[in-house]
Structure 1
């Protein structure tokens, strides 16, 4: 059926992109989305745009063909892609035809407050919100640890709070049992630089930390809102010195039933000598759960393979989830590691008692971050109310890990 669907639409008579690449207002372009083996539901679909549409002098309006109506869509930050969330499920092995129409550009620029998904900045944070509800907050300012604790725990450059659709906070910025775990954060634990051991994860050792440097760009829209920020992994023993530069692109999607946001990270060694990441049982992109889940019996950690955290430790699951009561109601969060990540599928550290986990390629052995060579990684975080729905998380994982096939009905490839 899938092959028949594509063959049928490709043999039909449609408007095509002019080979000159010149786009006129009111022109129509068409593409097919082939679901492949995954039902496409409650997840963004990204489409690489032909060059003729990337810098067109006009607005793009997306419609489902055959009278399916307009579909909310949005260009990527660089204008090279279009993203949308299907109004209805595209069943596995089936396809759907969409049309893009170029219309005259609006005379006015809409205010951020008019968009469904917004980026909101102040002098201490940058947040992503659905309507008026802030869903996640990235801390640009240095936050102080609780009174009476070491100032070495001071930290910026992490996400907290992250909330569920009902507004329950499912992260903790400075957990009382481990003050160096900060909501949603990234740090390497056992590293060596120029012969010296450096721990960027636990600041108390006085050798390393991670912090925010600058906001690079922000975007609001009706499909997603995003921000791009720069962080630094810093040697703190002696004169502070940046070893790694890191850029995060964080996108929150317009999915109110189960919040979903992506982090795309690119780390680059900015020193003249490499940073060695030693083999260790944790370190990488992490999640620390609600302050109400300090004790083991107040929360549960599961994966797509097991609900026994000891059995699941250092396995390579598709997803990890945690849940427990917050203000009397069950809720939780989940995390995916993208299959294109280094050493994928990555092992995950599941702590035996604390509400924290981390995808860590260091479990599989030593590796090196060479000067000037980018180290890229992608992760998706989700939040939900109630107990985690394994079937729903499986579906979300499949949509994240395997993109649909996009077939342009054009004379020129994108």
Structure 2
């Protein structure tokens, strides 16, 4: 896709009688925008002000970030490119469409009371009769499509330690000893929820920041925290009833004096997902930005990957587009894709962006690292052209900064 060219023209007008400020800006694209995407507009004087956003005569819903002095809204491809922001105006209210609701250890992200994404902050125990060593908190499940199909799976009998969407590191070294945070059954380590830093609701998005601790059970006489992780999740409205967007950002530091080494391994870190038990070798497919498929994608690198499978009613398809940010440690990013003869020939589906697949990563003490991913959850199909457009939007976000005259 050709680059999107963005020009912002902002005129700053002040009415002395009414003390109103009006910002007009023009969004000009080059070859045309194929997708709806979040856009931020930075204004210097938003804090504690009444703000309205218009596109022609249409009232545009937005979320207001008073800390960063930004408006966030969804630019839709069928809208005009003229927007107007009124400050100190009688506010034009838009409904708070998105919410995050706690319920018995689950935080559910909802769109108009329809649950879409869950985060487990309470301790989850495996089924009765299974060793409680597999208990865990701090993972995403379920991910539900707009039409109601659950795409994630937890505690499958073939891998009790699989938990929806999660990203523990597998082969790590602490003080010359190997510690595995992925394979819970080995009892070497785990990743657990600690606390929420933020839970937010809005007109176009909802999300949370959660602190997770990577706990080492092996190297000391008492458990120690090897990594402190801040997991930022944000669900975005895309202005259509068959898709939504989910941002997944993991930032982490180690308090260990000698740091921690992430060894090169086919699993670990990044973003991993165990898919629904409905999907297998005969009804699930993969397409990557480099043209690889379910048979060839494993171990290769990609900017994006589409995983698509049969819907629960057998009458259609749904899936997830995974996007890797170009600022990630490895980009295009290595992937783990299960072979079609796995799990006794069933060919169940597991996908992971794995930044240490081929090259180890030394994590230095008290230095912050970040990995950013985006998912588009969809019903129906998503084309490779749309996938590339979503990636371009993720890699080069549209951010408007006003110019005052």
Measured against aligned partners, the alpha-carbon deviations of 1:14-42 in whole angstroms (never above 9, x if no partner) come to 32589xxx9x8521123333435661632
Counterpart for residue 389 of structure 2: 395
Measured against aligned partners, the alpha-carbon deviations of 1:75-127 in whole angstroms (never above 9, x if no partner) come to 1373432111124447xxxx934221113577xx99xxx51111111230111
8 Å contact 1:243–1:270 — kept in the other structure?
yes
Counterpart for residue 273 of structure 1: 258
8 Å contact 1:59–1:102 — kept in the other structure?
yes
Is residue 216 of structure 2 the alignment partner of residue 232 of structure 1? Answer: no
Is residue 236 of structure 2 the alignment partner of residue 247 of structure 1? Answer: no
Counterpart for residue 341 of structure 1: 328
Relative to its length, the structure with more helix (as a share) is 1
Q: Which moved more, 1:392-401 or 1:272-281?
A: 392-401
Measured against aligned partners, the alpha-carbon deviations of 1:195-226 in whole angstroms (never above 9, x if no partner) come to 11011111111111111111121111111111
| Residues 79-98 of structure 1 mapped to structure 2, 5 A cutoff | 79-89=68-78, 96-98=81-83
Equivalent pairs counted in the alignment come to 388
8 Å contact 1:32–1:406 — kept in the other structure?
no
Is residue 318 of structure 2 the alignment partner of residue 331 of structure 1? Answer: yes
SS in 1 for 2:37: coil
Separation in 1, partners of 2:336, 2:300: 8
CA 1:160–1:405: 2 relative to 1, 3 Å: closer
Measured against aligned partners, the alpha-carbon deviations of 1:318-369 in whole angstroms (never above 9, x if no partner) come to 2222222343333222211111111222111111133111111112311111
Is residue 292 of structure 2 the alignment partner of residue 292 of structure 1? Answer: no
Measured against aligned partners, the alpha-carbon deviations of 1:109-164 in whole angstroms (never above 9, x if no partner) come to 99xxx511111112301111000111000000111112332222111100000011
CA 1:4–1:152: 2 relative to 1, 3 Å: closer
Is residue 65 of structure 2 the alignment partner of residue 76 of structure 1? Answer: yes
Is residue 161 of structure 2 the alignment partner of residue 180 of structure 1? Answer: yes
SS in 1 for 2:296: helix
8 Å contact 1:16–1:409 — kept in the other structure?
no
| Residues 186-205 of structure 1 mapped to structure 2, 5 A cutoff | 186-205=167-186
Separation in 2, partners of 1:274, 1:61: 48
8 Å contact 1:211–1:232 — kept in the other structure?
yes
Q: Which moved more, 1:357-366 or 1:74-83?
A: 74-83
8 Å contact 1:232–1:245 — kept in the other structure?
yes
Separation in 2, partners of 1:358, 1:98: 39
Which 5+ residue runs of structure 2 have no aligned equivalent? 341-347
291, 302, 307: which one aligns with 2:287: 302
| Residues 380-391 of structure 1 mapped to structure 2, 5 A cutoff | 380-391=374-385
Separation in 2, partners of 1:61, 1:191: 50
Counterpart for residue 44 of structure 1: 38
8 Å contact 1:164–1:385 — kept in the other structure?
yes
CA 1:131–1:159: 2 relative to 1, 3 Å: same
Counterpart for residue 21 of structure 2: 27
8 Å contact 1:25–1:58 — kept in the other structure?
no
Q: TM-score, normalised by structure 2?
A: 0.87
CA 1:193–1:120: 2 relative to 1, 3 Å: same
| Residues 398-413 of structure 1 mapped to structure 2, 5 A cutoff | 398-404=392-398, 406-411=400-405
Q: Which moved more, 1:386-395 or 1:198-207?
A: 386-395
SS in 2 for 1:312: coil
SS in 2 for 1:231: strand
Separation in 2, partners of 1:291, 1:4: 43
| Residues 120-199 of structure 1 mapped to structure 2, 5 A cutoff | 120-199=101-180
Counterpart for residue 197 of structure 2: 216
Q: Which moved more, 1:267-276 or 1:325-334?
A: 325-334
Which 5+ residue runs of structure 1 have no aligned equivalent? none
Separation in 2, partners of 1:39, 1:4: 10
Separation in 2, partners of 1:5, 1:184: 34
CA 1:346–1:88: 2 relative to 1, 3 Å: closer
8 Å contact 2:334–2:355 — kept in the other structure?
yes
Counterpart for residue 283 of structure 1: 268
CA 1:6–1:377: 2 relative to 1, 3 Å: closer
CA 1:3–1:335: 2 relative to 1, 3 Å: closer
8 Å contact 1:16–1:30 — kept in the other structure?
no
Is residue 12 of structure 2 the alignment partner of residue 15 of structure 1? Answer: yes
Separation in 2, partners of 1:384, 1:51: 36
8 Å contact 1:33–1:405 — kept in the other structure?
no
SS in 2 for 1:291: coil
